[in-house]
């Protein structure tokens, strides 16, 4: 025998059947409005009781085998959270968040969580918003199934990781070809030009002028080839370590761009896997590239140090900042373009993290990595030299 659908209630807490006759159209309009929305929506009263739910909420409760008394109008949502606290900390966090909303301590609460359903494990994004005005306070609770977005995000991350691995290998091969083949051919060509120069002597000024110009072009080309080789894969990273490679890159970046650079490398760093060193180095390249292309800053500071069990790399500028909707100035790399997301994924790939803070005074990119690496490193990780 099928259960009857839960009663709908008005926004002021009256069940529809008990509302004054002058308000049925408003109540029906509100119910139909939230029924048209795909997230599972409930409206809570000042005590945390459910006043109204939409069709998606009711259907999900029925499909999931949820007890109707835990999802229907009239149930206290906070009591349901308290009863479920033994299952995990998610229910406790929801309880605390909504309690804070009802008390006026915050205007919004958000939480992403996983849930086992008859259709399998799903990812949900919950948001609760406080609506306060002349009338009673109400809380709008919405649970949105973001499983497909999560799967797409995971796939994007896997593809970016694969791309990073292939890109680094391609960079290494190009750098080797430029250094070992192209540069050596230019050196040989330079020696031939010098030999011709000696044979021509001073008797042919036109030929001598051409030889001089050819030698200058050859030297400039050789310098550019070596610079490109270094940018593709810095030999100092393998020969002298992360701090030395960063110092050389920061110095060259300042010369090329005219931006006043400062590098603060504080203390000794522990040995790192080469993949981790490369991740830090690529973050430095990408972040400084953003400073040059977007920040409009005349100065930049790079800090590399060890603190509180972490190795930290900070790139800070005094530019225009990044558009940000959060009051604390934190940027979500996943919502701010492929370049920032790629930096974060690079750090996550080696067990680290990336944070970005921005404001009117500039932007700071901070990459972190635990300084105690796991005893068994993933395949492909090679410990750096002592």
pLDDT in tens, 12-35: 444 443 333 447 788 788 889 999
pLDDT at 327: 67
* Confidence at residue 69, expressed as pLDDT on a 0 to 100 scale: 57
Most confidently modeled range among 3-7, 74-78, 227-231? 74-78
pLDDT in tens, 90-148: 888 899 999 999 988 888 999 888 888 887 888 999 999 998 877 788 999 999 999 98
What's the start-to-end Cα distance of the chain, in Å?
73
Residue 311 pLDDT > 80 = yes
Are 50 and 43 spatial neighbours (Cβ–Cβ below 8 Å)? yes
Tens of pLDDT along 264-297? 988 788 888 888 998 999 999 999 998 998 888 9
Reported confidence tier of residue 225, pLDDT bands at 50, 70, 90? confident
Assess contact for 309 and 262: CB atoms under 8 A. Answer: no
Q: Please, are residues 269 and 277 in contact by the beta-carbon 8 Å criterion? A: no
Beta strand 108-117 pairing with 353-359 = unpaired
Q: Which contacts qualify for 40-45: CB closer than 8 Å, 24 or more apart?
A: 40/142, 40/143, 40/144, 41/140, 41/141, 41/142, 41/143, 42/77, 42/140, 42/141, 43/11, 43/138, 43/139, 43/140, 43/141, 44/77, 44/98, 44/138, 44/139, 44/140, 44/141, 45/13, 45/136, 45/138
Name the DSSP letter for residue 96.
H
- Cα gap 207→150, rounded to integer Å: 68
Q: Which of 27-41, 85-99, 213-227, 315-329 has the highest mean pLDDT?
A: 27-41
3-state class (DSSP) for residue 209: helix
pTM: 0.56
Q: Which two tokens stand for residue 139?
A: 């809380």
Given a contact cutoff of 8 angstroms between Cβ atoms, the answer to whether 370 and 309 are in contact is yes
The mean per-residue pLDDT over the stretch 140-163 comes to 85
How far is residue 380's CA from residue 138's CA, in Å, rounded to a whole number? 54
- Is a pLDDT exceeding 60 seen at residue 347? yes
* Confidence (pLDDT) at 383: 38
Mean pLDDT within 148-171? 80
Q: Lowest-confidence range among 76-90, 144-158, 250-264, 356-370?
A: 76-90
Please give the DSSP secondary-structure letter assigned to residue 6: P
pLDDT (0 to 100) of residue 334: 65
Residue of 74, 48, 57 whose CA lies nearest to 136: 48
Rounded distance between C-alpha atoms, residue 266 and residue 189, angstroms? 44
Considering 65-69, 222-226, 352-356, the range whose residues carry the highest mean pLDDT is 352-356
Pairing of strands 299-307, 260-266: parallel
Which residue has better confidence, 217 or 160? 217
Q: Output the average pLDDT for the chain.
A: 81
High-pLDDT (> 70) share of the chain, %: 85
pLDDT at 359: 85
How far, in Å, are 108, 130, 151 from residue 103 at the CA level?
12, 10, 36
What is the structure's pLDDT at 10? Answer: 44
* Alpha-carbon distances of 264 from 84, 302, 306, rounded to whole Å: 50, 6, 12
Q: What CA–CA distance (Å, rounded) separates 313 from 237?
A: 15
Radius of gyration for the chain, computed over Cα atoms and rounded to the nearest angstrom: 31
């Amino acid at each position: 025998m099928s259960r009857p659908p839960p009663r709908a209630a008005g926004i002021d807490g009256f069940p529809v059947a008990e509302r004054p006759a002058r308000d049925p159209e408003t109540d029906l309009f509100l119910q139909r409005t939230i029924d048209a929305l795909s997230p599972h929506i409930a409206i809570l009263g000042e005590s945390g009781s459910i006043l109204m739910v939409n069709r998606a909420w009711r259907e999900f409760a029925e499909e999931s085998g949820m007890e109707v008394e835990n999802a229907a109008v009239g149930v206290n949502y906070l009591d349901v959270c308290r009863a479920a606290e033994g299952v995990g900390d998610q229910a406790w966090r929801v309880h605390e968040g909504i309690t804070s909303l009802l008390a006026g301590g915050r205007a919004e609460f958000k939480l992403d969580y996983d849930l086992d359903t008859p259709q399998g494990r799903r990812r949900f994004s919950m948001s609760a918003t406080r609506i306060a005005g002349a009338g009673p306070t109400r809380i709008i609770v919405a649970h949105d199934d973001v499983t497909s977005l999560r799967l797409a995000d995971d796939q994007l991350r896997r593809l970016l990781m694969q791309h990073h691995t292939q890109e680094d290998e391609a960079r290494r091969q190009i750098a080797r070809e430029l250094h070992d083949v192209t540069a050596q051919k230019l050196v040989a060509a330079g020696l031939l030009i010098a030999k011709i120069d000696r044979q021509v002597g001073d008797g042919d000024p036109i030929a001598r002028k051409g030889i001089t110009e050819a030698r200058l072009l050859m030297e400039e080309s050789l310098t550019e080839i070596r610079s490109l080789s270094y940018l593709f894969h810095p030999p100092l990273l393998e020969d002298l370590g992360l701090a030395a490679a960063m110092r050389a890159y920061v110095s060259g970046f300042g010369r090329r761009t005219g931006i006043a650079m400062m590098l603060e490398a504080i203390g000794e760093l522990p040995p790192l896997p080469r993949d981790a060193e490369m991740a830090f180095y690529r973050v430095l390249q990408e972040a400084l590239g953003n400073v040059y292309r977007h920040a409009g800053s005349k100065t930049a500071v790079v800090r590399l140090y060890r603190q509180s069990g972490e190795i930290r790399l900070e790139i800070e500028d005094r530019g225009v900042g990044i558009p940000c909707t959060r009051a604390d100035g934190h940027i979500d790399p996943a919502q701010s373009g492929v370049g920032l997301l790629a930096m974060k994924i690079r750090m996550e790939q080696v067990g680290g993290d990336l944070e970005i803070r921005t404001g009117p005074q500039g932007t700071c990119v901070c990459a972190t990595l635990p300084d105690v690496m796991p005893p068994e490193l993933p395949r492909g990780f090679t410990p750096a030299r002592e």
